[in-house]
Amino acid sequence: MMTGSQIMVETLIEQGVTDVFGYPGGQVLYIYDALYQAGDRINHVLAAHEQGAAHAADGYARVTGKVGVVIATSGPGATNLVTGIATAMLDSVPMVAITGNVPTTLIGKDSFQEINITGVTLPITKHNYFVSDVRELADTIREAFRIAKSGRPGPVLIDIPKDVQVGECEFTLGDVVEDFPQERVEDADIAKAVELINAAKRPYIYIGGGAAGRGMTEAIKAMAEKIDGYIGCTFMGLSALPNSYERFLGMQGMHGQYASSMANKEADLIIGVGVRFSDRATGNVAKYASKAKIIQLDADSSEIGKNVRVDVGLVGDIVDAFARLLEGCEAQSHPEWRATVEAFKTEGRMIRDEAERRAGDRLTPQKIFSVINEIKDQNTVIATDVGQHQMWTAQFADFERARRFASSGGLGTMGYGLGAAIGAQIGSGDRTVLITGDGSFGMNLNELATAVSYNVPVVIVIMNNGVLGMVRQWQTLFYGKRYSASVLGRKTDFVKLAEAFGARGARAASIEEFRAVFEEAMAQDGPYVIDVAVDEDEFVLPMLPPGGSIDDIITTREEEEK
Amino acid sequence: MRSVIAIYVENKYGVLTRVAGLFMRRGFNIDTLTVGETEDPNYSRITITMNGDSHARDQVMGQLKKLFNVKQVKLLADGSSVERELMLVKVRNSPETRSEIMAAAEIYRAKIIDYTTDSMCVEVTGESTKLNAFIEVMKPLGIMEMCRTGVVALDRGSATIME
């Protein structure tokens, strides 16, 4: 016989879990006792706040492809997970969140630290459970793992009341659960898609989060070669393909690469692989890719045609479906398309170079990233928070292999980065660089304590402009420069702050200083905070205004302010 | 466009909330919703009627299929399904209205299931449009309160939701 808590821990181990993130409390004491006793087989990472723990589990999952696990107590512990769970939901990250709750006899009585967390998380989980009988616990956890990682992944929450944690029953070791089988796309649908591919003259392969980290890199490149097309990606598709690959144009959309957005607009065929055509990627859907036929491959049938009209939707196992498209289509040559896109690439480079020329010696994001790219290696993980620095990362950071990027795309969670960077580092074992801003970092900087406790080698680059840069950019462009609540005016000394937490820190005001400090930081054990000054009026460009289309693209700040 | 959607769900904790919540958060309106046990006590059947274009309907059905406790979702087409709704209407009973209420009940094949000197309760069953028509007849006579079950529906012939 085992207790529910022991069964829970044994089932996690059975499912291959080696690391969990969390924070103890009154209604998970039995679970923490069981974790303590199994401490040689499962590693628990204590965060500073449950939100940080949830983001850590998320970052861990993004870089490893495994299910991230987070544990929290009832009530406030559980509600503190909410933003972390929602972040994972919007970005389809596999996660299992385990919460304790008051004993079943006290449920529904507004007991101390009681909250109906299954109700709270209903719209932000793929599924959730309230376990009322210890005999169902092991199978519930197994099913939760299966749901979390199958098809389109996502978070699953399991709420375990205290009496179930101490209840006893037999435990039989099971196997690691396999994914639910995915539908095989019909041959007839593949044939329709192949027909469109063969007829296309300006093909654009569009990669999203559903394709990233699925082992599809080579197939996607092979397709681009075979049909003489180009590849772009969504924000969530970053790091799916090496930036050095010449047919890869990078992210398209609101802050996308000029060439990628232009090629997306001019394409006569878009093959969307694991993309959901979000509003940030399409702008005004009525004007989106008006010249193109669209093929959409997705694991989730409700994504087909949800946001844009789709000519052929392929639902099911997209890895298999894409391989069949590749095999079925004819080899093609489109020299005109190549010339067009190469011209876009040149134009894009010119826009960037021109911006740099105007900036002169100013310490621009582009300069900062050129140093980061030079010093980091292909295994370095990059995590970000949310805002301008995140878009600069999307535009300027070089990725050479899959699953090296952790950032909150769908929910856009400021405060995501530090927890995620810690989780990503622990999951990958590789050095992690967190790109953040002074606004975002201020939201959850308490996790610096976690990074110090576990001596996590994470280099934290705070692009410090003293303002909420993305808010300011919008206020500049669309709100008559009325900078409402976006000027921080804080006196935080991030170097001293780092030292107070027991980390190292340094400041950089020029590119030379930044290079020296970043080099040193990358060679350190443990966390290192770099406070680098960025101009408060630096813009993320190009920009497609919200609800606009590529025809409204803003490429220079000066032009906009005339 | 009105659609009738049948949903076969596991009889588990919170499943009705999951289904109803999905409509709320995706911004779709439910016109009617009924739920009850099926031939298998482990499963319940929910019938939903909604208004919306085919895009909205397909979205709803796709999102419903993703819910883990949902085993089957089926659109019940107009011509190939039968549907019924039940309604109780309490009307003011007076010497002036009594005969008209009873005549209407007769024609609509409704039953008078409660009778006092100042009120009558009428039970009407049929398609929603018939119920609507009956309400129109009763309105000028003085409806005190009323209550409808929402639509239940099945495929015609031997087709089932699980086919």
- What are the tens digits of pLDDT across the range A258-270? 999 999 999 999 9
The answer on B112 and B70 residing in a single domain is: no
Interval A214-240 mean pLDDT:
97
- Looking at residue B55, its pLDDT comes to 87
Average pLDDT in chain B: 94
Helices H / strands E in chain A, number of each: 23, 20
Interface test with A, best of B10, B13, B57 (most A CBs within 10 A): B13
ipTM strictly over 0.85? yes
Q: How far apart are CA A119 and CA B55, in angstroms?
A: 29
Mention every residue, 6+ apart, whose C-beta is less than 8 A from residue A186. none
In Å, what is the CA distance from A324 to each residue of A209, A328, A409? 20, 6, 30
Among residues B26, B50, B76, the one where a domain terminates is B76
**In terms of CA atoms, which chain B residue is nearest residue A130?**
B13
Question: Which homologous superfamily does the CATH classification assign to the domain defined by A365-537?
Answer: Thiamin diphosphate (ThDP)-binding fold, Pyr/PP domains (3.40.50.970)
**Res A1 pLDDT > 60:** yes
Q: Do B65 and A306 lie within an 8 Å CB cutoff?
A: no
Q: Looking at this protein, which amino acid is placed at residue A22?
A: G
Q: Do A126 and B68 lie within an 8 Å CB cutoff?
A: yes
Question: Which homologous superfamily does the CATH classification assign to the domain defined by A2-169?
Answer: Thiamin diphosphate (ThDP)-binding fold, Pyr/PP domains (3.40.50.970)
The answer on B139 and B92 residing in a single domain is: yes
Residue B139 domain flag: yes
The answer on B148 and B87 residing in a single domain is: yes
Residue B111, domain extent: 82-152
Residues of A in contact with B17 (CB under 8 A): 119, 122
**Res A562 pLDDT > 60:** no
Going by pLDDT thresholds of 50, 70 and 90, the confidence category of residue A95 is very high
Residue B159 domain flag: no
Residue A433's region, left for phi above 0, alpha for psi from -120 to 50, else beta, is beta
- Looking at residue A560, its pLDDT comes to 57
Yes or no: say if B81 and B156 are a contact pair by the CB < 8 Å rule: yes
**Res A558 pLDDT > 90:** no
Q: Which residues of A touch B (CB under 8 A)?
A: 118-119, 122-123, 126-127, 129-130, 132, 147, 300-302, 304-306
**In terms of CA atoms, which chain A residue is nearest residue B69?**
A127
Given 3.40.50.150, 3.40.50.300, 3.40.50.1220, 3.40.50.2300, which CATH number is that of A187-342? 3.40.50.1220
- Looking at residue B29, its pLDDT comes to 86
- Looking at residue A557, its pLDDT comes to 76
List, edge to edge, every strand of the sheet that includes A458-464.
A405-406, A381-384, A432-437, A458-464, A528-533, A504-508
Yes or no: say if A384 and A436 are a contact pair by the CB < 8 Å rule: yes
Q: How far apart are CA B48 and CA B36, in angstroms?
A: 12
The answer on B6 and B72 residing in a single domain is: yes
Average pLDDT in chain A: 96
The answer on B90 and B48 residing in a single domain is: no
- Looking at residue B13, its pLDDT comes to 81
The answer on B141 and B106 residing in a single domain is: yes
In Å, what is the CA distance from A114 to each residue of A27, A71, A103, A139, A292? 9, 16, 10, 25, 53
The answer on B88 and B58 residing in a single domain is: no
Nearest Cα residue to A146 out of A173, A177, A174, A175: A177
Alpha-carbon distance B13 to nearest alpha carbon in chain A (angstroms): 8
Mention every residue, 6+ apart, whose C-beta is less than 8 A from residue B79. none
Interval A468-479 mean pLDDT:
96
Q: What is the CATH number of the domain that holds B107?
A: 3.30.70.1150
Interval B110-135 mean pLDDT:
97
- Looking at residue A547, its pLDDT comes to 82
Alpha-carbon distance B22 to nearest alpha carbon in chain A (angstroms): 8
**Res B78 pLDDT > 90:** no
Q: Which residues of B touch A (CB under 8 A)?
A: 13-14, 17-18, 21, 25, 55, 58-59, 62-63, 65-69
Q: Which residues of A are catalytic?
A: 50, 112-113, 162, 470
Model pTM score: 0.95
**Res B163 pLDDT > 80:** no
**Res A404 pLDDT > 70:** yes
Yes or no: say if B81 and B155 are a contact pair by the CB < 8 Å rule: yes
Task: Locate CATH 3.40.50.970 in chain A.
Answer: 2-169, 365-537
Could you give the percent of chain A with pLDDT greater than 70? 99
Among the partner-chain residues B21, B63, B66, the one whose CB lies closest to the CB of A122 is B21
Going by pLDDT thresholds of 50, 70 and 90, the confidence category of residue A561 is low
